[in-house]
Chains A and B, each alone.
Chain A
Amino acid sequence: MTGRRAALAGRIPWTLVVFLAAATVPWIGTRYDTFLAAQIVIDALFAVSLNLLLGTTGLVSFGHVAYFGVGAYVCGILMKTYEVPFVLAFPAAGLGAGLFALVSGYFCVRLIKLYFAMLTLAFSQIVWAIAYKWNEVTGGDQGLPEIPYPNLDWMSALPGFADLRIGDRFYLLTLVLVAASVAVLGMITRSPFGRMLTTIRDNPERAAFIGLNVRAYQLAAFVVAGTFAGFAGALYGLFSRGVFADYVFWSKSAEVMIITILGGMNFFWGPPVGALALVWLNQQITAYTEYWPFMLGTILLVLLFAFPGGLVGGLVTGFRLAVRRLARSDA
């Protein structure tokens, strides 16, 4: 009985269910719901990209926002200043972020542990300083407001899409691009390349002595993670209709790390769950108190002590316990 129930649950394509549920938000939710959903979806991609470093490769990057920021600025500048269409600006954002990750990562992977973390932070502060000071290109402390939305008029031709606002359409575009990006990151994580990254996480010394060039693999992971952070940044700039130096500030790196750890960095689906939880918590708490950072800190402390594996870790443990108890009561 339990076995059959479990097998049935295993056969449901859960990712597809979640994707379809998320896609219905513009029709069944309010405008504000769509706004929140877009934020969750973009944060999810950003955190999944970080987790390729954190959970899979064992690299603690404190400067992941640098690549998010480079992506946001590349896409924003191309679309606003040069009127480049989104279909070109979006890939360019990933490319720019990936190239910057290649250059900065080349230096970062030469250091280990805390020194690696500090150097990633240093690179992200360099990006922030450039964003803040280079008025002609980045708009400096004024930022780049009023970035145009991509042209999504073609969506009107789809059944049911004619009445959707531009914000709703952009959310759906974001959802599709994020889903595709997360699918690619999932493929990479489960591939032989991803397996090599986990050996480096567990034991870099031993990984070298199964024949791996550890630094080259770490750099490759760094570039992939940076590229997808760049995609997330590009979407975020368009979603918030502007790119500002704040987006590249180091506290944003801390936020994405909180999302990843809260959701569970040992699980591929941890970061998206963390993104959902953090945005939801933010909503709930700000409705009651203005001391939101204090409350969040307390909640995080409790959660991380109760579920060291994050929310997904807690769910998995709970599910296993429930299955075991059911099996026992069946017998």
Chain B
Amino acid sequence: MLEVYNLRKAFAGFVAVGGVSLTVETQQIAAVIGPNGAGKTTFFNLITGHIMPDGGRVLLAGRDITGASPHRICRMGIGRSFQRTNIFARLSVFENVQAAFLAHRGRGRNFWSRSEDFYRDETAVLLASIGLGGQADAVAGTLSYGNQKQLELGIALASDPAVLLLDEPTAGMSATETRETMQLLQRIAAERELTLLFTEHDMEVVFAIAEKIAVLHQGRLLAEGTPAEVRSDPDVRRVYLGEH
């Protein structure tokens, strides 16, 4: 579903991502792990068009999307959440998700109808499925941190993506919140037949749900494989897991 070949990016001589290749199969749950500064977020930004790669290719369902602008890549079927929570803080929870429906379904050019009449049912259903059904009218910026993360997932899902990229979906969450979030993600990925690629610092979470793990280290792919393979990889044990 998502194929990345030899992706490269350097910032003023510092190699952030140096020739990383990775393939994620349809409906696979894959994780990218690595220590801080390993290039995980840059890797995501290269895939979603937020940063232009110096070289390499990104294919989505066989189609070359390398270097396309973020809004095009979003429309082609990649949804994403960001490490720093990225919602529309002054809009209500309902409006956040509804806006994503409006944008994705090409209603954004409609300047004559009342926006509140659109996609009420779809928005309510989606909010209920991510556990925010009771907070539709709350101002998004006033939600708890965990709820904002849930809302961000809702915004991404409204674009009906085939592939969902999540940058540290449980960052800053308590152990309970982390467990609930990962259960939610697993359920939604199964329901919507999503391909999931996420970064995560919590190894317990990664080894519990990922079917495939790629380990980045100093901008390069150190190892790649099933959780069992990665866990037993001597390089990974030395530079990363050994730290624990």
Contact = CB atoms under 8 A, between A and B. Distances in A.
Interface of A: 187-188, 190-196, 198-199, 201-203, 205-214, 217
A193 B155 contact: no
Interface string B22-34: 0000000000000
B108 A192 contact: yes
29 contacts: A187-B111, A188-B111, A190-B114, A190-B115, A191-B114, A192-B102, A192-B111, A192-B118, A193-B109, A193-B111, A195-B102, A195-B115, A196-B103, A198-B95, A202-B87, A202-B88, A202-B91, A203-B88, A203-B89, A205-B50, A205-B86, A207-B88, A208-B71, A209-B71, A210-B74, A210-B104, A211-B104, A212-B103, A214-B71
Chain A CB within 10 Å, residue with most, of B75, B80, B103 = B103
A213 B71 CA distance: 6
Interface residues of B, number: 38
Interface of B: 48, 50, 69-71, 74-75, 79-80, 82, 86-91, 95, 98-100, 102-104, 107-116, 118, 155-156, 158-159
A330 to B, nearest CB: 24
Contacts of B104: 210-211
Contacts of B88: 198-199, 202-203, 206-207
Contacts, number: 99
A217 B108 contact: yes
6 nearest A-B residue pairs (beta carbon): A193-B111, A202-B88, A195-B115, A210-B103, A210-B100, A208-B70
A199 B70 CA distance: 15
A194 B86 contact: no
Contacts of B156: 209
A187 B86 contact: no
Given A210-B74, A211-B71, A213-B71, A203 B87 contact: yes
Contacts of B113: 191-192
A209 B70 contact: yes
B112 to A, nearest CB: 6
